[in-house]
Amino acid sequence: DAGITQSPRHKVTETGTPVTLRCHQTENHRYMYWYRQDPGHGLRLIHYSYGVKDTDKGEVSDGYSVSRSKTEDFLLTLESATSSQTSVYFCAISVHKGQGNTGELFFGEGSRLTVL
Amino acid sequence: AQKVTQAQTEISVVEKEDVTLDCVYETRDTTYYLFWYKQPPSGELVFLIRRNSFDEQNEISGRYSWNFQKSTSSFNFTITASQVVDSAVYFCALNDNFNKFYFGSGTKLNVKP
């Protein structure tokens, strides 16, 4: 158990509204990630963080922003949700093994977001 | 660019059959890591194995085995004597020793009794 909690687990919202998903970890891992999962696309990286206030974009970052003000929390924000952002969102941490980021990812349980 | 291809979208087998899930990757890095994850119908993502680019030894864990071949950029996963509980979506992933993990689109395995 990597101690990852995502909230909310389910959310239905309307187009144009802001949405924030929260990822909380209890083990002080440096690297945190947000992925979205869609049929036929597998898991695609949205943003990731390598420390407090240190974040970078992934392959599908348009329309998303992130913040990490504390080691344990990594927030994903959809400023103005669109129907194309209906998806299952997974937070993950990487257990750092040494030089480079070579550890495996451990995932949260996922947050299902529906944008009507 | 890094890329992971799982060409098999869905595979159906009958229980006790052996099945191989294919994974082909692309990277220019000489140091990288490969992974397999399982996602059962309940939705959680479960880590199965990690392999670094300098270790081409095949690995066996119970009914699971992995074949890593750098010459063909493949990291295939075989389940021997499949069981209904093996039904899941399986993802192959690549880490380029920096900060990013790249996933394939997944292979859905259906094991019928």
Q: Check whether A2 has a pLDDT greater than 90.
A: no
pLDDT at position A1 is 57
Chain B residue whose CA is closest to A94: B99
Strand partners, B10: B108
pLDDT band for A97, please (50, 70, 90 cuts): low
Tokens of A83: 């129907």
Residues 6+ apart with CB under 8 A from B42: none
**Chain A residues closer than 8 Å to B91 by CB:** 42-43
What number of other Cβ atoms are within 10 A of residue B113's Cβ?
Answer: 7
Answer yes or no: is pLDDT of B65 > 70. Answer: yes
CB contact under 8 A, A100 and B44: no
Name the more confident of B59 and A83. A83
In this complex, do B100 and A40 lie within 8 Å of one another by their Cβ atoms? no
In this structure, how many other beta carbons lie within 10 angstroms of the beta carbon of residue B4?
23
Residues linked to residue A77 through DSSP beta bridges, in sequence order: A20, A65
Nearest C-alpha in B relative to A33:
B100
CB atoms within 10 A of CB A109: 15
Is pLDDT of A25 > 60? yes
> Which phi and psi angles does B59 have, rounded to 5°?
-125, 140
Consecutive H or E run containing B109: strand B107-112
With beta carbons under 8 A apart, name residues in chain A contacting B41: none
**pLDDT for A96:** 67
Position B82 pLDDT exceeds 60:
yes
The beta-carbon neighbor of B103 closest among A31, A40, A43 is A43
For residue B6, list chain A residues with Cβ-Cβ distance below 8 A. 42
At B12-61, the pLDDT tens digits run: 999 999 999 999 999 998 889 999 999 999 999 999 998 888 888 888 88
State the burial class of residue B92 (Cβ atoms within 10 Å of its Cβ: 0-12, 13-18, 19+).
Answer: buried
Q: Which amino acid is at B74?
A: S
Could you tell me how far CA B89 lies from the centroid of its own chain? Answer: 10
Q: What one-character DSSP code corresponds to residue B84?
A: G
Between A103 and A31, the higher pLDDT residue = A31
More confident residue, B61 or A36: A36
Q: What is the pLDDT of residue B7?
A: 96
- Compute the distance between CA of residue B19 and CA of residue A55 in angstroms, rounded to an integer: 40
As beta bridge partners, residue A32 has A49, A93
